[in-house]
């Protein structure tokens, strides 16, 4: 069954159920297979495409004006796009923004990412919501030559994200220091010159803006690879440990990450703060379980309720797995909950400064309602160091 077929399509999106969407290709040529998700954010397509949490996924953008502000090096969340591909309603237009240095089309092409425009993204989004995130094959050929049977077969052959440890593919190769703070007019990214707390950040696929938020909260940040051991962490004599965002199945990454976190919790009284995959890693280390969601949460307008205060924060989210709140052990409490579907969005230990959230408080892109969490982390480290 085909939809939106132009006279000569140059790209097509084949779903594992046999549905095929035709459109206009841009970016790189070729073929890729991945899980398909949708993102409802109205801004930040460059940050989304370079978010390491999107490894193994093609992103359908529900907002039609994708590409309208171009791209620039300052907005990359990592060196190159990590999302496998892009699906949009309208073919990107010429950018109009003073910060733009390159068109979205050229940026995608030079970085080997395939995109398709002219798609009925509303229909596609409804299908994802109703049927779950499908496995798909995305192909771009300027000549319009497609072997649909092979594309559908490729989609059906995709292994899926369950059981996949993708953190190892996007983590840093070696440790490094980070001192860049959040963007500020008119000078861009200032440097942290008077840090107050030493933080070791475990990189499961860390976004640059998360590291900037830590620096802006007064942290001297040392980033370690996802495979770091507790001994590696403690060798830096940190005041706190941060667990970053990242892609893939938390249970798979947890095979090596959970023992490290458990040892930190057992052997020290350090404050620990986790985000996204880091939240799921902490939950697993504390004895809870994670589950694959039907279509996940991807957007910049997700309402999350603080269970303790009743405050509702509008947050940025990007996750396809969630912590099962029903499995939280004694001594671990739920702190935040999604108002869209009631899924868990935060936990903390009841007697220690150890907590995590599912959403992205660095808000890149998105609202900044949750930045206070970085300040809370800094306060916990200051309290630990204060004289008795």
- 276 catalytic? Reply is yes
What mean pLDDT is predicted for residues 250-274?
98
Q: Are residues 147 and 194 in the same domain?
A: no
Q: Are residues 93 and 218 in the same domain?
A: no
Tens digits of residue pLDDT in 307-356: 999 999 999 999 999 999 999 999 999 999 999 999 999 999 999 999 99
Is 387 part of a structural domain of the chain?
no
What pLDDT score does 99 carry? 93
**Residue-level length of the chain:** 388
What pLDDT score does 187 carry? 85
Q: Band of the pLDDT at 367, cuts 50, 70, 90?
A: confident
List CB contacts of 269: < 8 A, sequence separation 6 or more: 352, 384
Say which of 35, 47, 77, 362 is annotated catalytic: 362
What pLDDT score does 185 carry? 86
Tens digits of residue pLDDT in 72-105: 999 999 999 999 999 999 999 899 999 999 999 9
Tens digits of residue pLDDT in 124-151: 999 999 999 999 999 999 999 999 999 9
Q: For residue 5, is pLDDT > 50? A: no
- 362 catalytic? Reply is yes
Cα–Cα dist 81/69, whole Å = 17
Instruction: For residue 151, give both structure tokens.
Output: 């594309």
Select from 42, 81, 253 the least CA-distant residue to 164. Answer: 253
Mean pLDDT rounded to a whole number for the chain: 96
Is 388 part of a structural domain of the chain?
no
DSSP, residue by residue, 188-212: BS-B--S--EEEEEEESS--HHHHH
Last residue of a domain, one of 115, 139, 157: 157
What mean pLDDT is predicted for residues 263-273?
98
Is 162 part of a structural domain of the chain?
no
Q: Are residues 124 and 172 in the same domain?
A: no
Which CATH number is 52's domain given?
3.50.30.20
Percent of the chain with pLDDT over 70: 98
Domain residue limits at 133: 2-157
**Burial readout 210-235 (b: 16 or more C-beta within 10 A, e: otherwise):** bbbbbbbbbbbbbbbbbebebeebbe
Q: Are residues 100 and 213 in the same domain?
A: no
Last residue of a domain, one of 128, 157, 186: 157
Q: How many domains does the chain have?
A: 2
Q: For residue 282, is pLDDT > 70? A: yes
What mean pLDDT is predicted for residues 4-31?
91
What mean pLDDT is predicted for residues 250-261?
98
> How many CA atoms are closer than 13 Å to the CA of 205, on its beta-carbon side?
34
Q: Are residues 149 and 188 in the same domain?
A: no
Q: For residue 209, is pLDDT > 90? A: yes
Q: Band of the pLDDT at 1, cuts 50, 70, 90?
A: very low
Say which of 276, 279, 319, 336 is annotated catalytic: 276
Q: For residue 3, is pLDDT > 70? A: no
What pLDDT score does 226 carry? 98
């Amino acid at each position: 069954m085909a939809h939106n077929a132009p006279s000569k399509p140059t790209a097509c999106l084949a779903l594992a159920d046999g549905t095929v969407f035709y459109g206009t290709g841009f970016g790189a040529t070729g073929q890729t297979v991945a899980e398909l998700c949708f993102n409802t954010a109205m801004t930040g397509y460059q940050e989304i495409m370079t978010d390491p949490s999107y490894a193994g996924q093609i992103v359908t953008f529900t907002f039609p004006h994708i590409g309208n502000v171009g791209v620039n090096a300052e907005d990359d969340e990592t060196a190159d796009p990590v999302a496998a591909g892009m699906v949009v309603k309208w073919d990107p237009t010429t950018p109009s923004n003073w910060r733009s240095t390159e068109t979205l089309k050229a940026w995608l092409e030079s970085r080997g990412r395939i995109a398709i425009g002219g798609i009925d993204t509303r229909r596609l989004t409804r299908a994802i919501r109703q049927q779950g995130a499908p496995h798909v094959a995305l192909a771009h050929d300027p000549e319009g030559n497609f072997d649909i049977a092979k594309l559908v077969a490729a989609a059906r052959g995709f292994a899926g994200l369950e059981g996949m440890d993708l953190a190892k593919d996007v983590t840093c190769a070696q440790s490094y220091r980070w001192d860049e703070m959040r963007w500020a007019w008119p000078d861009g990214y200032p440097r942290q010159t008077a840090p107050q707390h030493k933080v070791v950040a475990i990189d499961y696929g860390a976004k640059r803006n998360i590291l900037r938020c830590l620096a802006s909260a007064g942290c001297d940040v040392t980033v370690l690879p996802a495979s770091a051991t507790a001994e590696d962490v403690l060798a830096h004599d940190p005041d706190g440990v941060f667990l970053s965002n990242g892609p893939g199945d938390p249970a798979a990454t947890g095979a090596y990450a959970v023992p490290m976190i458990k040892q930190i919790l057992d052997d020290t009284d350090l404050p620990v703060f986790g985000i996204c995959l880091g939240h799921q890693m902490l939950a697993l280390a504390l004895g809870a379980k994670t589950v694959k969601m039907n279509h996940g949460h991807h957007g910049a307008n997700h309402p999350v309720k603080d269970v303790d205060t009743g405050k509702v924060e509008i947050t940025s989210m990007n996750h396809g797995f969630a912590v099962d709140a029903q499995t939280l052990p004694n001594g671990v409490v739920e702190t935040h909950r999604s108002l869209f579907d009631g899924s868990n969005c935060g936990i903390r230990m009841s007697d220690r400064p150890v907590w995590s959230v599912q959403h992205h408080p660095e808000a890149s892109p998105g609202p900044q309602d949750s930045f206070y969490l970085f300040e809370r982390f800094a306060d916990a480290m200051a309290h630990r160091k204060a004289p008795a």
